[in-house]
Structure 1
Amino acid sequence: MRDPSFRRSAALFRAFLREQSDPEHVYSLLARDAVRQVERYVPLRDRVVVDVGGGSGHFTEEFRRRGAQAYLFEPDPRELLAHGRTPSGAVLADGYLLPLADGVADVCFSSNVLEHVADPYTFLSEMVRVTRPGGLIYVSFTNWLSPWGGHETAPWHYLGAGRARERYRRRTGRAAKHTVGVNLFPLHIGPTLRHVRGRSDVTVVRARSRYWPFLAGAVTRIPGLREFATWNLLLILRRSSS
């Protein structure tokens, strides 16, 4: 599917509605879409790809199908085993301190992880560290003020995280997976863009809405509106040579 396009966005949003009931379909579709995005910037055959926080490995497996030497680093053993399928060579590792030498990756990839770490800028620095000069860094996150910012408790997070969790518990009879301040942190587009643009070790190749069907880059350039309309910010960064 062409990116961006209404057809692609509609397919992704329909899939997200089935995340709880059919995660295999959702994450397989998302992996194919994300890896196609990466291939716009770098051929993948025989390239070393580091997948940071890739859960049970859908992204890693898709990179391997495209010919890359892909490796999964995931800090949560429950996520590694969540769907009964873990790629060979997966490593239980913290994204703040990857067990890798400097500059080993041609591509460092992280999908929808940044909002789940307390110190996202240190996390980004570690991704940059393990990427070779000239290499590509793909990072996306769901910003807090987007309609999906509260994850499974959205859109009630607009009324407060605690209230949203309580509503979720009453409605489903179980606790929400994510707790603000524990494994979900409010992250905003404006400060994140200022941070990456102010770094000397990367250049910003693209900053865009990951799922938006048109003008995907334009929406991220409008202060205020971008915090609500972007849904999910995708950053394509290039590791600086010096």
Structure 2
Amino acid sequence: MRPTRDFARRASLRRSIGLLSSFRFEQSDPVRFYGALATDTVEMVDDLWTAATGSPVAGRTVLDVGGGPGYFAAAFGAAGMTYIGVEPDPREMHAGPAATPGGSGTFVRASGTALPFADDSVDICLSSNVAEHVRHPWQLGNEMLRVTRPGGLAVLSYTVWLGPFGGHEMGLTHYLGGARAAARYTRKHGHRPKNDYGSSLFAVSAVDGLRWARSTGALVDAFPRYHPRWAWWLTAVPGLRELAVSNLVLVLRP
């Protein structure tokens, strides 16, 4: 059974437009942006788990690698899951609902490339839009597989560098080159971008992610996260996928 069976039915053009239109609020209104993204992410994980295992997601433990300030915690908790968020940056960890009274879930300060968890210790390991911010993204991926129990699910989603959102707040200037785009942003705004090329943003390609995932023997599916189902074929086309996929989801079962 393909794990994307149920999620494919949800991947409509209306959903894509709604998510893409919210991107402009990422820094100006993070509650609005991450709230919508959290709801969609829980629905995606629920669909993938149910199709892959034939069992409900409620009662399962999800480890969110790079969970930041915990916008996802409430959404996963509402789905009946035990949420554990991992974040290396204390500024990010205390920037949102994880720092507020009544926040749900458990939060751990740690690096995604050296997770402080035992082998085979969680049902689901998720990393949403983090790999492009890590100098060694596939070390992060290997750690995700290590802590996920056999028969569980690892879901690694990241922004493809050559896609339209690869430059994050630098916009399309990343097509001029990452270092040049960061310097241009600094001149215009008077400060370095939050997602600064070479330190907190890296050029991660679709082909590199697919090559790593296939090498693990655990890859069961891959698709463009924000595209409607009828555009998923783009993932299979070398070259074109680097420009058009935008955000690649790798679904693995150790």
Using the size of structure 1 for normalisation, the TM-score is 0.93
Q: From the superposition, tell whether residues 39 and 216 of structure 1 become closer, same or farther in structure 2 (CA, over 3 Å).
A: farther
Which amino acid letter does the alignment assign opposite residue 43 of structure 2?
R
Cα offset, 1:216, TM superposition: 4.1
Matched, 1:189 2:196: no
Which amino acid letter does the alignment assign opposite residue 78 of structure 1?
R
CA RMSD of aligned residues (A): 1.6
Cα offset, 1:84, TM superposition: 5.2
Choose from 94, 105, 113 the match for 2:122: 105
Structure 2, unaligned runs of 5 or more? 1-6, 50-55
Paired residues of 1:208 and 1:216 also in contact (CA < 8 A): no
Percent identity of paired positions between Structure 1 and Structure 2: 46
Structure-1 separation of matches of 2:83 and 2:96: 19
Choose from 212, 217, 224 the match for 2:239: 224
Give matches, 1:69-84, under 5 Å.
69-83=82-96
Which secondary structure does the structure 2 equivalent of 1:95 belong to? coil
Task: Name 2:187's counterpart in structure 1.
Answer: 170
Matched, 1:148 2:165: yes
Task: Name 2:4's counterpart in structure 1.
Answer: none
Structure-2 separation of matches of 1:191 and 1:162: 21
Aligned residue-pair number: 237
Paired residues of 1:153 and 1:168 also in contact (CA < 8 A): yes
Structure 1, unaligned runs of 5 or more? none
Q: From the superposition, tell whether residues 55 and 212 of structure 1 become closer, same or farther in structure 2 (CA, over 3 Å).
A: same
Which secondary structure does the structure 2 equivalent of 1:176 belong to? coil
Paired residues of 1:44 and 1:63 also in contact (CA < 8 A): no
Cα distance per residue 1:116-138 (max 9 Å; x no partner): 11111111110001000000011
Which amino acid letter does the alignment assign opposite residue 238 of structure 1?
R
Matched, 1:208 2:223: yes
Structure-2 separation of matches of 1:115 and 1:216: 23
Larger helix fraction of residues: 2
Which amino acid letter does the alignment assign opposite residue 76 of structure 2?
F
